[in-house]
Amino acid sequence: MNKELIIVDDDFPFRERLSRSMQKKGFNVENFSNSLETIKRINVKKFDYAIVDMKLEDSSGLELIKKIKDKKVNFEFNK
């Protein structure tokens, strides 16, 4: 069974490389560059895991994590 993963990072090349790598490991991956789009998406779809950049352009990663914590997503921290 594939796990649903969301990646949030404003560094496009890094986000794309990480997405491809995680897809090869069997994850269904969606990725976003900011908090606003991420919040819109998690209100529609459940994700099993999240990798979140701590320094996003529109907010801090910690603020985003607080907002989506209720969705019971497991987090990985990307500094």
Q: What is the pLDDT of residues 14-67, one digit of tens each?
A: 999 999 999 999 999 999 999 999 999 998 898 888 999 998 888 888 988 887
Distance of CA 34 to the CA centre of its chain: 9
Give residue 26's region: left, alpha or beta (phi > 0; psi -120 to 50): left
pLDDT of residue 48: 87
Are 8 and 51 in contact by the 8 Å Cβ rule? The answer is yes
Entry pTM: 0.84
pLDDT of residue 6: 94
43: three-class secondary structure by DSSP? coil
